[in-house]
Amino acid sequence: MEEKGITLSPKHGLNPSITHCECCGKEIGLALFGRMKGDKEAPKDIYSGLCDDCQKVIDSKGLMIIEVRDGETGNEPYRTGRIVGITKDARERMFKDVKSPIVYMEQSMFGPMFGKYCGN
């Protein structure tokens, strides 16, 4: 009979990871992996799903803009830690061609546009 739920890892117990909002990085909760293939240890942090704040912006057709270092490319660019959420209206004014609800922006562009809202 197959048990639902998790199998404890002999080495790592519940084998938890802290889950973070994949947009802003805020902690959302814990994910318990238990015994993984090869009894590996779960990563300490995983970025998956959205926190309520980011979800709200995206649900209302706003746009989340994540600042990244200049020259970064690829799917995991280096983030500076600054992030803004803009409303649907602002999105339509400034970013009407952007399809994705979450975008990366290089800091040389982000700074002049949003720096003043981020405290520097």
Q: Which stretch binds Zn ion (CB under 5 A): 4-12, 32-40, 47-55, 94-102?
A: 47-55
- The residue count of the chain comes to 120
21 forms part of the interface with Zn ion (CB under 5 A):
yes
The minimum distance between CB 84 and Zn ion, in angstroms, equals 12
Choose which of 9, 15, 17, 23 interacts with Zn ion (CB under 5 A): 23
Choose which of 51, 65, 84, 105 interacts with Zn ion (CB under 5 A): 51
63 forms part of the interface with Zn ion (CB under 5 A):
no
54 forms part of the interface with Zn ion (CB under 5 A):
yes
How far is the C-alpha of 54 from the C-alpha of 64, rounded, in Å?
A: 7
Q: Which stretch binds Zn ion (CB under 5 A): 3-11, 24-32, 66-74, 110-118?
A: 24-32
Binding-site ranges for Zn ion (CB under 5 A): 21, 23-24, 26, 51, 54
